[in-house]
């Protein structure tokens, strides 16, 4: 399937040691939602894939003193030894855990603090209006945070690489796919066009993860999508 809409709230929790988990999907890569109780320890595993954590609620305090708060992200590369990243939860803490196949992503652990990144304009080669973004990570794993005001609409467009959308505040309609609300997740295969993207009455904010390369914006009426219209 070229796109998927995930409703984590509709899934049941399953007990796993000091946490609860929801397996959201295994394709095209694994995505879980994980809930840690207050005071629970965090101990990173040794995996063949990188792990991107997005904090939904709560706070994870790392043993080096840094805190991973709501809407912060933590990147742990593939091949790290077990226990490379450790800490404990200062409150009940919920995270999304996205598995990213090697060799995508930087080779070093990265803590991405939301307040540390300035909001900036997103340059469109076609010169059309866009909305501000935070550039959180660049390279073959690229991450943006963006917000749309209610009055803005993004017409039919496409991206080069597979993308994940994590709706962190508000809601937005993606063409025929319907409305995505806070806490829901969208996955779409690169090369297909879709739209329009229409934010709700209070606007929308979301994290966009591009697996494979940078987030390039192509308007379908200027550059037809190589795989056609999303069905």
**Burial of residue 31, with CB atoms counted within 10 A of its CB: 0-12 exposed, 13-18 middle, 19 or more buried:** buried
CB contact at 8 A, 96 and 57:
no
Confidence of residue 86 (pLDDT cuts 50, 70, 90): very high
- Do 190 and 162 touch, CB atoms closer than 8 A? yes
CA distances from 22 to 12, 30, 97, 173 (A): 6, 11, 10, 25
Give me the domains of the chain, ranges plus CATH numbers.
8-113 (2.60.120.10), 115-219 (2.60.120.10)
pLDDT in tens, 174-184: 999 999 999 99
Residue-level pLDDT at 102: 85
Percentage of residues in the chain with pLDDT exceeding 90?
94
The pLDDT tens digits for 93-149 are 999 999 999 899 999 999 999 999 999 999 898 999 999 999 999 999 999 999 999
pLDDT tens, residue by residue, 197-224 = 999 999 999 999 999 999 999 999 999 9
* C-alpha span between 124 and 117 (Å, rounded): 20
Q: 75 to each of 49, 83, 122, 124, how far by Cα in Å?
A: 11, 14, 23, 28
Q: How many CB atoms lie within 10 A of CB 200?
A: 16
Confidence (pLDDT) at 206: 98
């Amino acid at each position: 399937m070229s796109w998927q809409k995930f409703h984590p709230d509709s899934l049941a929790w399953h007990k796993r040691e000091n946490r609860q988990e929801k397996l959201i999907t295994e394709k095209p890569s694994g995505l879980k939602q994980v809930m840690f109780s207050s005071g629970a320890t965090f101990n990173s595993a040794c995996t063949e894939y990188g792990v991107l954590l997005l904090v939904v609620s709560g706070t994870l305090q790392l043993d080096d003193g840094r805190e991973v708060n709501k809407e912060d992200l933590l990147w742990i590369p593939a091949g790290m030894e077990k226990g490379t990243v450790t800490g404990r939860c200062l409150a009940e803490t919920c995270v999304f855990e996205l598995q990213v196949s090697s060799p995508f992503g930087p080779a070093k652990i990265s803590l991405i603090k939301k307040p540390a990144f300035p909001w900036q304009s997103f340059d469109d080669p076609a010169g059309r209006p866009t909305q501000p973004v935070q550039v959180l990570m660049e390279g073959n794993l690229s991450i943006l945070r963006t917000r749309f005001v209610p009055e803005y609409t993004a017409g039919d467009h496409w991206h080069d690489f597979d993308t994940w959308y994590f709706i962190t505040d508000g809601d937005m309609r993606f063409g025929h796919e319907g409305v995505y609300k806070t806490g829901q997740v969208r996955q779409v295969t690169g090369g297909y066009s879709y739209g329009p993207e229409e934010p709700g009455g209070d606007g929308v904010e979301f994290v966009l993860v591009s697996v494979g390369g940078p987030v390039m914006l192509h308007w379908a009426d200027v550059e037809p999508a190589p795989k056609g219209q999303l069905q």
